Structure 1
Amino acid sequence: MRLLNTTKCKLEEFGGEIPLYAILSHTWGDYEITFQDIDGGDVEKKVGYEKVRNTGSVAAAHGFDYVWIDTCCI
């Protein structure tokens, strides 16, 4: 399972024990950040990155170190 680290905004893969994580439930827009975007670098410059960054911030504020976002983690 891939999860996005809320402080590093990097994907981490888990095969055994999976940590607690938040889930972003959303509707898809025109500028969604994908797995390839996150994995490829320079994601911070992409238009849709704000949604990912804000999701990580909200999750971290609620005590989560990880978040699952379908467009990024699948």
Structure 2
Amino acid sequence: LLMEFYSRIRLVCSEDGVWVGPTCVPITCPPPKIVYIGAYNCTNGFNIGSSCQFLCPGASQVRLVQFSAAEKDMMPF
């Protein structure tokens, strides 16, 4: 599971007694487009870094799709 890093590099105790500093926000992708015939299986859900295998009935090859942090959409390999 990859995370986006926000804020400063260090924690600081503010005047109101609250720690202010770095936060991590999990990055997730929406589910892949609907596969009408066939199925898919993902290694880590729809989180960035997860790989999904698509299997179509009668197909001789399994198509691998990698969720990428650098791309808005999934990129097939």
More strand by share: 2
The alignment's TM-score, normalised by the length of structure 1, stands at 0.26
More helix by share: 1
The alignment's TM-score, normalised by the length of structure 2, stands at 0.26
Report 1 or 2 for greater relative contact order, CA contacts < 8 Å, sequence distance ≥ 6.
1
Q: Whose radius of gyration is greater, 1 or 2?
A: 2
